[in-house]
Structure 1
Amino acid sequence: MKDCYSVTTYSVQSILGLIESGDIAIPEIQRPFVWDSTKVRDLIDSLYYGYPTGYLITWKNPDVKIKGGGVAEGKTVLIDGQQRVTALTAALAGKAVLNEDYESKRVKIAFNPLYEGEDTPFAVLTPVIDKDPRWISDIAEFFAPDFDSWTFVNGYIEANPGCDPKVVNSRITDLKAIATRQLGCIVVAAECSIDEVTDIFIRINSRGAVLSQADFAMSKIAADEAHGGNMLRKAIDYYCHLAVKPEFWTTISQNDAEFMRSEYADKCEWLKDDKDDIYDPDYNDVLRVAFMHMFGRGKLADLVSLLSGRDFEARDFKGEIADASFAKLHDGVIKFMRKSNFQDFTAALRSAGFASSSIIGSKGAVNFAYNLYLTLREDDSVPSTDVKRWVQRWYVMSILTGRYSGSSESIMDRDMRRISEQGFIPFYNEIVASQLSDNFWEVALPQSLVTTSVRTGAWMVYVASQVRSADNTLFTNGFKVAGVIGNVGDIHHIFPKAYLKKTIDAPQRLYNQIANYTYLEKRINIAIGEMRPGEYFTKAREAIAAEDKYFGDIATEADLIANLKANCIPEGIFDMGAADYEGFLAQRRILMARKIRGYYESL
């Protein structure tokens, strides 16, 4: 590992000069400047007094062979320290930075040469400070090439009669000395793998932050201006931000003329009117889907290597491989962003019953499903009318089995290769035969419902099955599950929690099992209170013949039985009490599993 990196120091002035010249690229891994102004002030304060400010980490991109036998030198990329360097650029060089809303803003740090004792001489500029002659409003003027210390000190003394010229001059000199302060820098060699770079980053980064493979990919993209990488990076960022905040389009259209002239603008514009939140991708999602679809691989470390021009067979780096890889990634990102693709895919999820982000499973499963959608649309062996159905089935299967939960890159990579080799339908049939056997439906699936988490795949698919079937909530006729799934307040205990705690002192792990959950109107839940299930279910049945329908609006006993069946309530519920609770859970898990199976097979 020691041969993988070296340690050196740069002055603050040298770092800013290397950034300005482009010798070190800031890939904006963390993209908008997320530090608040007080952290910028604190950094300047630390440099002023000579306190350590942590290491920067740079990674040299490999040199690549180009046609004609020449070599293009790889650019050095800053992979840790972007916020610190951006803060220095803002405060000392006077450059505007992007805030969290992607608006270009100045961060001005004021300096008071007349500070006393332990007082900090720095402050974030405010209107009050700006009017105080003791404060210099913007320290950036001290680091401008044409700054004249003699003229400045004389002007300051004139504005602050009685101050000591020697003190003012000495402190201005100390302030300007920030430019010569040394910053430690870990220089990682081009030959290091992403895993080795990540290990160095984690060991050095005291905040315990972790760089993802997507971070490295974004740094590679942003640093490659020759392939339009910075604009591609920006397009990915904007798209993801718009997915969450459609109103952000106004900021883009008014403030980024360069982007508005690019090919990406019209691919993003449709999001300004989009209110759907079942799949709000981040840059990791965009890169993964585009990469899987265009390259047939699942490991983002491979994308970084390919964008670097890596020839896996020759074990060197070639310009034509980098050229082809950027072109393919560009095409994949465009396909991801295209309105017709994105909306058609999310419509497939909705029509399968996944109508709320609250029941959308792991991002890995969604990403693979979107990749599969894009891939099957171009597969002549799969009729276009069947694409959504296959995508729905694969998504539900992957959620139920946890196929892409946890560390899933290797599984995605293997699945993509197998689909390429075998064709999707033969591979799908093979997976279903091995993963969704009768034993899975009758034993493993009910067992997976022994949990208190509503984020488990089996519960989310169960709710999706109710949405797809247009099921009513318990005791109602017309109050749909689909209308309340986004509100966790409408999930209630069939065996009331207070009843179980009072009668059998049930622990949380028992009374909060998801097999005890159902969607129920709050007014009905209030009416139930702490009643024994057998009691209030009987009251619900008796209320059918009464004028008072406080337990719901079901008009016939047949409707009640159908409602109980739709909500997987065992037939014996009318006689059940605390002693029957664990038996009830076992029965309901089986009924829920049967409903899930019927739903899956209907897709």
Structure 2
Amino acid sequence: MTDLQQQQTESISFLIENIDKGHIVLPEFQRDFVWDIGKTYELFDSLVRDIFIGSIIYGKPSFEITVREIDKRPRRGEGSRAKLRTTFFSKQEIEHKTQINNFRLVLDGQQRVTSIYRALKGKDEIWLIIKNEEELSEDVQNKEFKDRTLEEILYEFKGQEDEERLSVKLSDAYKISKSDDFESEIKVKYFDSLSFLSNYEENELINVFRKFMVTVKKLNDLYRSEKLLSYYLLNMNTEKFALFFERSNSKGVRLNFIDILAAKLYKGFNLREEIDRLQNSYHISDFKFNREIIVRTISYIVSKGKEVDKTYILTNLNYNHFNQYWGMVCSYYKKVIDFLFNENYILSQSLMPYENMIIPLITFLHELEGNDFSQMNERQNEFISYWYWSSILSQRYSSGTNEVIVHDSTMLARVAKNKKTTDKNYFKKIKVQMKGYEDILSLSKKGSAVYKGVLNFMNFSSRGLLDWNNSTRLITNSKLEDHHIFPKQYIKDHYSDDENALSLMDCIANRTLIPKLTNIRIGKKAPSEYLIEIKVKNEEIEKSLENHLIPTELIEGLYDDFYYDFVEARAKQIYKIIENEVVLKEEKILNNFYRSPITSSTGNKKVYGNYYRKRIEATFNIETEKILYKGKAYSVSAAANKAKEDLSGRDNNSTNGWKFWKYITDSGEERFIDDYRKNNVPATL
């Protein structure tokens, strides 16, 4: 286990000492301490009873970061809302601290660590309450007090001493372990003031004090137990650190690599404050700006169109980049959202199939003359529409997102400059995969991108969906629900023996967007019944139904007993619109934005390959199809294998060299030399 070491253990005392020395801290992005006092009682009860409390995950950072102190504020009253101290450490300082002081970040277990610290340092008053003799089991009573375990004598943990039972404050026991006080001094400082002692005679207090001291010793044995707290230590490669943090923290607030970045930037750029400021400046209050979109866009700009992945972001971006590009990117972000709403691409943020598609649109705007959608020409507008819907319906953003973002951003940047691409394969990647209305019937997963995409597409194709109650356009970002046109309960009641109908109950051909209140009032009524009721409010309900691609015969009850016929008819209508507005435009888009690369049939071409984040160069002879590499001629694939061996030190490579070696086209695009094998392929899909 190289990145996450095997489980280890440490003591509570060691934990507290390292926190006090500043060797164990919290990343600035960690959520606040939120445990109520009852959680702390339960935590110490588990520790005494040797119940596993979960492992703490520490991280050793290898990059600059802002950290903050453990929460030592009082739970209420003066100082409870004081700002926690933060400290920025440079990469050099971090390296020194991790090597010399075993400097660590608490990545998972902050609530437990903070609770333990607060209890032992007296920030929270936690008392161990000891059972009276009569409350002990018979076998425990037969033992000497010094031979009883803490678990055997534990009555409970409380926030104050118990007047009926001997009590020891956890922080007092810890202070005693760290002091050189004599027993007489301990008695005066910590014992004599206990209210429980008021019922004892002077001579009895000697035995009670002895029990007090034995309990203090048992607590300190607990604190010093090396096996009490288990932990893992993560040596933080930035990418794996980010992945770990995204996939852990299953309880409470979920964090991702942007939280790590926020801590890294904190010294010169407060990412949280800037996001809040952006949010407050936008007129659609229900829309929430995604900070990851902005960060990845800035990464694309800084890397000159090469990188948007978290490793690059955490390693290379700094607050200067954000100070330089934040305002511009946010301005474009707003314009993109307005464009998507105004042109009916989306009705609400929750229904956006892929938020990452905003990044290429921001890039398009950045490169477009005038930096405003009003300045794009009709061909550019057609491309945006085709790219948007084709990408969604082909599920382009379902995997390999970083590569897709870069590829699409680069393509849209070229379109913004009215340039064609020499990459014909690009158009195959966004080609709609639907073949007929049966594909529409298969869409029933509410959260899927294609499902959301089809709902949005109906809004787009109708130039705005209408409200059934009044034939006005549905308001963007209003509370909409994807209503079952044939209510679920109606289908269950009337088609209980029809497996075909039941299997299509949730398909998108039986769904459309309407206001939530309208959906609630419809209930489980037959379509004709609730539509007749709505017609009382809106005499032009037929217009609204047509707008939603719903057969108007539904009002007359002609489909009430023919559910399958209804969903089939509507699925055909939905597919027909997709076919007309997307599928059949493929050839036009290709002709407008693709041209064959200019490739010679003779001569040499400079080529290069990338491996292990390194670049290696060679020469490709077009006639012989050989690669000249380091003075020797190889086949295309053999040269790639040799280059990989030189870059990695490993000789067990097997590579398709035609997809390894690249060249730069006359239009400045990066292409694989595979183009030379496809030089005569016609420009059709």
**TM-score when scaled to structure 2?**
0.59
- 2:115 is matched with 87
Q: What is the CA distance between 1:589 and its match in structure 2?
A: 1.6
Q: Which runs of 5+ in 2 are unaligned?
A: 65-89, 137-151, 586-685
Task: Please give the secondary structure, in 1, of the residue aligned with 2:495.
Answer: helix
Q: Distance in 1 between matches of 2:154 and 2:384?
A: 60
Deviations 1:186-238 (A, max 9, x none): 33445x57449968998xx8x988999x645634653x5xx645x85xx44xx
Q: What is the CA distance between 1:387 and its match in structure 2?
A: 8.0
Q: Distance in 1 between matches of 2:43 and 2:519?
A: 57
1:89 corresponds to which letter in structure 2? Y
Which stretch shifts more, 482-491 or 345-354? 482-491
Which stretch shifts more, 443-452 or 9-18? 443-452
- 2:373 is matched with 385
Contact 2:57 2:232 in 1 (8 A): yes
Task: Please give the secondary structure, in 2, of the residue aligned with 1:79.
Answer: strand
- 1:478 is matched with 471
1:366 aligned onto 2:383: no
Q: What is the CA distance between 1:36 and its match in structure 2?
A: 4.0
Q: Which runs of 5+ in 1 are unaligned?
A: 96-106, 240-263, 308-323, 541-548
Q: Distance in 1 between matches of 2:288 and 2:422?
A: 27
Pairwise mapping of residues 420-569 of structure 1 onto structure 2 (< 5 A)? 426=420, 433-434=427-428, 440=433, 443=435, 447-465=439-457, 467=459, 469-474=463-468, 476-478=469-471, 480-482=473-475, 486-488=479-481, 491-493=484-486, 496-497=490-491, 500-501=494-495, 504=498, 507-518=501-512, 531=526, 551-555=535-539, 562-569=543-550
- 1:218 is matched with 259
Q: Distance in 1 between matches of 2:250 and 2:312?
A: 25
Q: What is the CA distance between 1:8 and its match in structure 2?
A: 4.6
Residue 114 to residue 427, structure 1, CA distance change in 2 (3 Å): farther
1:551 corresponds to which letter in structure 2? K
Pairwise mapping of residues 143-154 of structure 1 onto structure 2 (< 5 A)? 143-144=174-175, 149-150=186-187, 151-154=189-192
- 1:546 is matched with none
1:350 aligned onto 2:341: yes
Deviations 1:484-535 (A, max 9, x none): 962438543289525741684655322332212345688899799765x7x7
Deviations 1:287-334 (A, max 9, x none): 545544544423213333x15xxxxxxxxxxxxxxxx64533565666
Q: What is the CA distance between 1:87 and its match in structure 2?
A: 2.0
Residue 413 to residue 21, structure 1, CA distance change in 2 (3 Å): farther
- 2:145 is matched with none
Q: Distance in 2 between matches of 1:198 and 1:462?
A: 32
Task: Please give the secondary structure, in 2, of the residue aligned with 1:166.
Answer: helix
- 2:217 is matched with 173
Q: Distance in 1 between matches of 2:262 and 2:478?
A: 39
Deviations 1:101-136 (A, max 9, x none): xxxxxx5433324565457455353xxx47858586
1:156 aligned onto 2:140: no
Q: What is the CA distance between 1:585 and its match in structure 2?
A: 2.1
Q: Distance in 2 between matches of 1:453 and 1:514?
A: 9
Residue 189 to residue 513, structure 1, CA distance change in 2 (3 Å): closer
Residue 398 to residue 27, structure 1, CA distance change in 2 (3 Å): farther
RMSD: 5.1
Q: What is the CA distance between 1:275 and its match in structure 2?
A: 8.5
Q: Given the alignment, which residue of 309, 325, 334 partners 1:299?
A: 309
Q: What is the CA distance between 1:407 and its match in structure 2?
A: 5.8
Residue 413 to residue 5, structure 1, CA distance change in 2 (3 Å): farther
Task: Please give the secondary structure, in 1, of the residue aligned with 2:445.
Answer: coil
Q: What is the CA distance between 1:41 and its match in structure 2?
A: 2.0
Residue 434 to residue 576, structure 1, CA distance change in 2 (3 Å): farther
Q: What is the CA distance between 1:84 and its match in structure 2?
A: 2.2
- 1:593 is matched with 575
Q: What is the CA distance between 1:467 and its match in structure 2?
A: 4.8
Q: Given the alignment, which residue of 398, 405, 414 partners 1:412?
A: 405
- 1:109 is matched with 126
Pairwise mapping of residues 97-246 of structure 1 onto structure 2 (< 5 A)? 107-113=124-130, 117=136, 120-123=154-157, 125=159, 129=160, 139-144=170-175, 149-150=186-187, 151-156=189-194, 159-162=197-200, 164-182=208-226, 183-189=229-235, 194-195=239-240, 215=256, 218-219=259-260, 222=263, 228=266, 235-236=270-271, 239=272
- 2:394 is matched with 401
Give the structure with the higher percent helix: 1
Residue 57 to residue 569, structure 1, CA distance change in 2 (3 Å): closer
1:268 aligned onto 2:250: no
2:535 corresponds to which letter in structure 1? F
Contact 1:109 1:122 in 2 (8 A): no
Task: Please give the secondary structure, in 1, of the residue aligned with 2:232.
Answer: strand
Task: Please give the secondary structure, in 2, of the residue aligned with 1:348.
Answer: helix
Q: Distance in 2 between matches of 1:550 and 1:172?
A: 75
Q: What is the CA distance between 1:152 and its match in structure 2?
A: 0.6
Q: Distance in 2 between matches of 1:288 and 1:517?
A: 34
- 2:655 is matched with none
Task: Please give the secondary structure, in 1, of the residue aligned with 2:192.
Answer: helix
Q: Distance in 2 between matches of 1:577 and 1:454?
A: 24
Residue 12 to residue 49, structure 1, CA distance change in 2 (3 Å): same
1:582 aligned onto 2:564: yes
Contact 2:484 2:511 in 1 (8 A): yes
Contact 1:500 1:578 in 2 (8 A): no
Identity %: 15
Residue 290 to residue 62, structure 1, CA distance change in 2 (3 Å): same
Q: Distance in 1 between matches of 2:476 and 2:436?
A: 30
Q: Distance in 1 between matches of 2:429 and 2:113?
A: 50
Task: Please give the secondary structure, in 2, of the residue aligned with 1:508.
Answer: helix
Contact 1:109 1:138 in 2 (8 A): yes
Task: Please give the secondary structure, in 1, of the residue aligned with 2:307.
Answer: coil
Deviations 1:385-435 (A, max 9, x none): 358968777554443332223563443355456667997864699688435
Task: Please give the secondary structure, in 2, of the residue aligned with 1:355.
Answer: coil
Answer with 1 or 2: which has the greater Rg.
2
Q: Distance in 1 between matches of 2:234 and 2:571?
A: 54
Q: What is the CA distance between 1:568 and its match in structure 2?
A: 1.1
Q: Given the alignment, which residue of 256, 277, 280 partners 2:288?
A: 280
Contact 2:58 2:106 in 1 (8 A): yes
Task: Please give the secondary structure, in 1, of the residue aligned with 2:444.
Answer: coil
Deviations 1:516-561 (A, max 9, x none): 2345688899799765x7x769x96xxxxxxxx7634555xxx565
Contact 2:131 2:154 in 1 (8 A): no
Task: Please give the secondary structure, in 2, of the residue aligned with 1:58.
Answer: strand
Q: Distance in 2 between matches of 1:379 and 1:187?
A: 45
Residue 18 to residue 135, structure 1, CA distance change in 2 (3 Å): same
Q: What is the CA distance between 1:24 and its match in structure 2?
A: 3.2
Deviations 1:224-279 (A, max 9, x none): 5xx645x85xx44xx4xxxxxxxxxxxxxxxxxxxxxxxx47x6346468785654
Q: Distance in 2 between matches of 1:470 and 1:330?
A: 38
Q: What is the CA distance between 1:351 and its match in structure 2?
A: 1.7
Task: Please give the secondary structure, in 1, of the residue aligned with 2:199.
Answer: coil
Task: Please give the secondary structure, in 2, of the residue aligned with 1:451.
Answer: coil
